[in-house]
Chains A and B, each alone.
Chain A
Amino acid sequence: MKVSSGEKLTRFIRYSSHFSVVTNRVRPDAFLPHKNEVNISVFRISEITEDEVWKIGQEYVHTEKRPVKARADIFASDVYENNLEVIPVEPPQRHANITPLPVDNSPTNRKARRSLATKLATLSKLAIPPEEN
């Protein structure tokens, strides 16, 4: 079962260089998983509060050495427009994958992966944890 196009998704970001508070932008690197990975892990966040969204990040993504530093919010419709799917993969609750990225096994596929990451980053909105504001 696919996620409906009106749903809002978020990708939790754990690295400072994957976003910029100065430009208020998510960088494509936030949507570039390691080479053999064809899924981008996200959570479905429609109809829950900001506090609840951050709580999901704390519970399932945050670690002591790699805390959640920001998130990239994007609508499922923007994902579908780029010929990708959003597939629920639970548990954990509300988890889903944006898929399939091309496997990084050739320059052409690598370009395609970067192109998709660039689009998703451009269409997403940066959110910073409340204590960071």
Chain B
Amino acid sequence: MRIRRNRVSYPSHPIQLESEFMGSPNVLLPTSHSMSLQTYENNPPIMDDRTWSSMFDVNLYLSWTDDAEQQLKEIRQEADEAYTLDDEIDPVPESAYDDVLFLLKAFFHFGIPMPDLSWAEDGSLTLGWYPEEGTITIGIYGDNLVIFTAFFKEKRQLEGICELSDTPMLAGFLTTLLNTLF
């Protein structure tokens, strides 16, 4: 599974998929990454345009995942504190954090901008985009479901549920999300 193009600029047309995508969310960061960096110390690579571009992508990806993990850490802290003080609040399951991180990595590959992250008393995490005219959110409960809702002030709305593990449906859903955002 892999996506044809990686970018952080926002395309105005649907992204083309070669086949499946979600099975290899670390397509930009293979497991041999750290070994390659060690090798560079003794054998510096030839820095042609392609190499620069690749390193740029890796740095962007690392920056993206750092940002995502930091946001999740802050959300987790507030949610945990709230749960400690009020046992009526439903705890956010660990699997919800894992699912959100997985989705955020997928967003990077699809060119979907980083959402705002938040938590709710029903034990969910929310990934949200807040354009002036509306709200677009994804709700994650750690049960393999992705709940999508979008509402705009002119009363236009979109809703849907898909399974995180249903790769073709999720790819279609992310394309819909991208089209809704832009």
Contacts and interface: CB of A to CB of B under 8 A. Distances in A.
Given A110-B141, A123-B153, A66 B85 contact: yes
Interface string B40-58: 0000000000000000000
Interface stretch (A2-10, A83-91, A113-121): A113-121
Contacts of A113: 122
25 contacts: A17-B74, A17-B117, A18-B118, A18-B120, A28-B126, A28-B137, A29-B120, A29-B124, A33-B121, A65-B85, A66-B85, A108-B161, A110-B139, A111-B161, A113-B122, A114-B139, A114-B149, A115-B149, A115-B159, A118-B137, A118-B149, A118-B150, A118-B151, A121-B135, A122-B134
Given A27-B118, A35-B123, A113-B122, 19 more contacts: A17-B74, A18-B120, A25-B135, A27-B126, A27-B130, A28-B137, A29-B119, A29-B121, A29-B126, A32-B120, A32-B122, A33-B121, A34-B88, A34-B121, A107-B145, A114-B137, A119-B151, A122-B134, A122-B151
Interface of A: 15-18, 20, 23, 25, 27-29, 32-35, 37, 65-66, 104, 107-108, 110-111, 113-115, 117-119, 121-123
